[in-house]
Amino acid sequence: MLALIGKKLGQTRVYDALGTVHSVTVVLAGPNRVLQVKTQGGKDGYNAVQLGFDDQKEHRLTKALLGHIKKQNGVPVKRIQEFRDFTKDVKPGDIVGPALFAVGDFVDAIGVTKGRGFEGVMKRHNFAGGDQTHGAKGWKRRSGAIGQRLFPGTVMRGMRMPGHMGRVQRTVQNLEIIQVREADNLLLVKGAIPGANGDYVVIRESKKIAKDSARLKQIQDARKKAAAGSGDEKKKGAKPAAAAAKK
């Protein structure tokens, strides 16, 4: 599995090769430094690659973390994450970036959602609320009854109630890569990614639409047919215009 640590920069719109406009999220996906490589036959007992992102000053790291990085002859970084079964052969000290992915690949984006603070049931759980009438005294945004009578006489576990909203990890699957700007270490991913601008995210290979999978081939074939159809329509529309110009 290929994966990168990145930073969400913002949103914009771009055109693809067919002239279709797409809403994309811009992700700074490099450089990612390889800090450590773990192997099945080594003392770790499993295959994994440890990546670091966003350079940091030494005095801002704990001594334990700084010692670990220096043991691997690495560079101090702000964010470290480990990915199991990394499919690209790398060694400590290597630098990887958005070139791991290509235009048309599908990825999963993992991030932490925006914090919303303490919210009521209408915003947090999309409750309808009470009657918006003259006689409904103080029940317009309440949840209603939450318990029972004598039995069981308690609030059931998992009851949807007001509370803290947001700041939870979420994964958005099957997002398409529209552009790869290797010189700028940028990935332009179609759709929305969890988190606020400036938050760290993880971009990994899609688990449901993997490279060379049957589903990816179906999507590519359908797009080729659509592109061929749009080309034929343009040619048909161009003939009368050319004839009119000659006249």
Residue among 135, 42, 48, 38 nearest 83 (CA): 48
Name the band, by pLDDT with cuts 50, 70 and 90, for residue 242: very low
226 within domain boundaries:
yes
Asked if residue 7 lies in contact with residue 200, where contact means CB atoms within 8 angstroms, the answer is yes
196 within domain boundaries:
no
Q: Which of 8-17, 84-93, 179-188, 229-238 has the lowest mean pLDDT?
A: 229-238
Residue 212 DSSP symbol: T
Which helix (H) or strand (E) segment holds residue 115: the answer is strand 115-119
Average pLDDT along the chain: 88
219 within domain boundaries:
yes
Q: What is the pLDDT of residues 145-193, one digit of tens each?
A: 888 888 888 899 999 999 999 999 999 999 999 999 999 999 999 999 9
What is the rounded distance in angstroms from the CA atom of residue 9 to the CA atom of residue 25? 8
- CB contact set of 59 (below 8 Å; sequence gap of 6+): none
Q: What is the pLDDT of residues 22-79, one digit of tens each?
A: 999 999 998 999 999 999 988 889 999 999 999 999 999 999 999 999 888 888 999 9
Distance from the Cα of residue 204 to its chain's centroid? 8
Phi, psi (rounded to 5 degrees) for 9: -100, -35
pLDDT at position 107:
95
Phi, psi (rounded to 5 degrees) for 85: 50, 50
Phi, psi (rounded to 5 degrees) for 190: -70, 130
Give the count of domains, the chain: 2
Amino acid identity, position 192: A
Query: Domain end: 103, 132, 166, which one?
Result: 166
79 within domain boundaries:
no
Rounded to an integer, the average pLDDT of 95-124 is: 94
Residue among 5, 186, 8, 11 nearest 113 (CA): 8
Residue among 140, 142, 138, 148 nearest 160 (CA): 142
143 within domain boundaries:
yes
Structure tokens at 83: 């990915």
The structure's pTM equals 0.81
Name the band, by pLDDT with cuts 50, 70 and 90, for residue 96: very high
217 within domain boundaries:
yes
Structural domain for 225, as ranges: 212-247
Return the higher-pLDDT residue of 102 and 241: 102
Amino acid identity, position 179: Q
Query: Is the pLDDT score of 220 beyond 50?
Result: yes
What is each CA distance from 143 to 17, 130, 131, 156, in whole angstroms? 50, 8, 12, 14
**DSSP SS3 for 146:** coil
162 within domain boundaries:
yes
17 within domain boundaries:
no
- CB contact set of 77 (below 8 Å; sequence gap of 6+): 33, 35, 52, 53, 54, 55, 56, 69
Name the band, by pLDDT with cuts 50, 70 and 90, for residue 231: low
Query: Is the pLDDT score of 238 beyond 60?
Result: no
Q: For the residues of 15-79, what is the DSSP string, one character each?
A: E-TTS-EEEEEEEE--PEEEEEEE-SSSSS-S-EEEEEEEE--GGGS-HHHHHHHHHTT---EEE
